[in-house]
Amino acid sequence: MGPDEPTSAQLWSTGTPTEIVMLDPDGRVVGRLRFRACRTCRAGRILDIWVCEAWRHQGLGRELVHSLLAHRPGYLWTTTSQTPDGRAFFLTMARETAVVFPHGGALCRHLMGPFRRSWRYLLAHWSPRRPRAH
């Protein structure tokens, strides 16, 4: 692993929010996807996806979703309410991944409990590029 590659830590806990985080070479968080997932029901909800302004339009959001699907294959996903931009994004992702991301719907009983802790998962394979100069 080179000096510019992010470190990784991975912890699973049913029902608690999990983060997939992208760091730039200086260790700043530039992208984040938060979700909750239930292994019993193989269902999950994407809570939010955030990409730092300077890093938008470079595929970070797509990378976050692909990483999520790679780590939780075969799950049924829903999202929280979607903005028009979010709706377009998830439609694109659905075409690209053949996984649909409807918003809303009921959570399974395992995911209904209070948020207790937040685990953080740092992408190990993502190699950051510098944002384009404006």
Burial class of 109 by CB neighbour count within 10 A (0 to 12, 13 to 18, 19+): exposed
- Smallest distance, Zn ion to C-beta of residue 99, A: 18
> Does residue 76 interact with Zn ion by CB under 5 A?
no
46, 97 contact by CB (below 8 A): no
The site for Zn ion, by CB under 5 A, has a size of: 5
Q: Which of 66, 103, 110, 120 binds Zn ion (CB under 5 A)?
A: 110
- The stretch among 1-9, 40-48, 78-86, 98-106 that binds Zn ion (CB under 5 A) is 40-48
> Does residue 39 interact with Zn ion by CB under 5 A?
no
> Does residue 47 interact with Zn ion by CB under 5 A?
no
Query: How many Å separate Cα 46 from the centre of its chain?
Result: 7
| Tokens linked to 25 | 């070479």
| Tokens linked to 13 | 């806990």
- Smallest distance, Zn ion to C-beta of residue 45, A: 11
Give Cβ neighbours of residue 92 (< 8 Å, ≥ 6 apart): none
> Does residue 23 interact with Zn ion by CB under 5 A?
no
> Does residue 122 interact with Zn ion by CB under 5 A?
no
Neighbours of 4 (CB within 10 A): 10
Q: Residue 94 or 108: which CB sits closer to Zn ion?
A: 108
Q: Contact residues for Zn ion (CB under 5 A)?
A: 38, 40-41, 108, 110
